[in-house]
Amino acid sequence: MKHPSIIQISNDSIQTLLMKGEHTASEVINSAIESGEIDESDRQFWEKYDKVDICYFKAVPKPGYSAYYHESSKDIKGAFLATAVMVYW
């Protein structure tokens, strides 16, 4: 089964699993494990998430990153609906 697009993003204050579409936190975590984005041993860390947000995001180029994802509006070209599971450091 093909997994929806899911990526792990981190910066100095937050770690995020970002999955295209509208999902529950459990669906995002399970898909991240099944796709190999995170290890099964990371499950407990992610299950203690601080926030789940479903909104539109846009990926833009930024020096030092393959892409920078920021919240956007559905009216912006290239924006996509995604679920973000976030853990604050």
Query: What is the tens place of the pLDDT at every residue in 33-82?
Result: 999 999 999 999 999 999 999 999 999 988 887 788 989 999 999 999 99
Residue 13 belongs to what domain range? 6-88
- Which letter does DSSP use for residue 49 in this model? -
4 — pLDDT class (breaks 50, 70, 90): low
Query: Is the Cβ–Cβ distance between 70 and 60 less than 8 Å?
Result: yes
Does residue 83 register a pLDDT over 90?
A: yes
Residue 26 counted as domain residue: yes
Residue 79 to residue 42: CA distance in whole angstroms: 29
Residue 45 counted as domain residue: yes
Residue 1 counted as domain residue: no
Residue 70 counted as domain residue: yes
Q: What is the pLDDT of residue 3?
A: 58
Residue 30 counted as domain residue: yes
User: What's the structural domain count of the chain?
Assistant: 1
- Which letter does DSSP use for residue 40 in this model? G
Query: Is the Cβ–Cβ distance between 19 and 56 less than 8 Å?
Result: no
